[in-house]
Amino acid sequence: MVQIKVGIARLNDGSMVAKAGTVIDQLTANAALFPAPVPSIAVLTAAKNALVTAMGEAEKGSKAAYIELRAWRRTVEDLLHQAASYVGNCLLKTS
């Protein structure tokens, strides 16, 4: 398998949203190379949007909102790692 560097470990929440958006845009723009992404673009988009919403709620300061933010961040991180594995597998097949 081709190793894809995800590079998200030190990103703040806003940068994580931007990274997810870039991955979504690139998977969409290169649909011929990545015909059935795992996770799907819809799932990744929904998680990114939920992270944005959780960021807004966490700014209000409740502990529950902060916990929700951390959970959505972990979800987005996991999905980006899955997407990187999928891309690596696709690239291995084309090389």
pTM exceeding the 0.95 threshold for the entire prediction:
no
* Residues in contact with 57: Cβ distance below 8 Å, sequence separation at least 6, in sequence order: 65, 68, 69
pLDDT at 7: 85
pLDDT per residue as tens digits for the range 58-72: 999 899 999 999 999
Query: Alpha carbon of 14 to those of 10, 11, 51, 68, 87: distances in Å?
Result: 11, 8, 9, 15, 23
Mean pLDDT over 17-44 rounds to 96
Does 1 have pLDDT greater than 60? no
